Structure formats: C-alpha cells, structure tokens
Amino acid sequence: MAAKKKAATFEDALEELEKLVERLETGDLPLEEALADFERGVKLTRECQQKLATAEQKVKVLMEDSGGIRELPFDTEDDSSSTESP
C-alpha cells in the first residue's frame, strides 16, 4: 500500500504555484509540459483556497468565542486612501 504524501503547507503550495507560473510565463515549454504544469497549478490553487477558507472559519469561531467582537469586512484595496486626510 502506498503511503499518502504529507499535505503541503499553504506557504509551500503557494511557493510551488509561483514557480509554476514563472515556468508557464516563459512560453518555452512543450505543450504537454505546459498542460501538466497548468493542471498542477489549478490543483494548487484549489488547495490554497481551501486552506484559506479553513483558516477564515477558524478565525470566525475564535472571534465569536471571545464575545463582543463584531465581524468587519476585509477590504483588499489599499486601506491608506481611506484613512488619510485630503
């Protein structure tokens, strides 16, 4: 029976994904390799999304357990523009 490969950390998966993107961006890969890299990249993207969703859920549970803390939306835009005076 084959042993299961240990699940990569979020950081490991993200690093591998970045390397795959760099390889694909060169445009020098044979079609078969590019397709295999793309497929691996899609799998890594899904793994990263799942890990982030799990982490988000854990944070929500911890915040709810501490009581009195309200959830605020996370703004991915540059926050400095909203806090600076004109």
What are the tokens at 26?
A: 């060169």
Q: Running DSSP on this structure, what letter comes out for residue 30?
A: -
Higher-confidence residue of 2 and 31: namely 31
Q: Are 13 and 48 in contact (CB under 8 A)?
A: yes
Q: Are 20 and 44 in contact (CB under 8 A)?
A: yes
Distances (CA, A) of 5 to 12, 20, 45: 14, 20, 18
Question: What would the pLDDT profile of 53-72 be if each residue is shown by its tens digit?
Answer: 999 888 888 877 666 666 66
What are the tokens at 3?
A: 């042993």
Question: What would the pLDDT profile of 3-53 be if each residue is shown by its tens digit?
Answer: 445 567 999 999 999 999 999 999 899 999 999 999 999 999 999 999 999
Domains defined along the chain, listed by start: 10-65 (1.10.287.1040)
Strands (E), the chain: none
In this prediction the pTM is 0.64
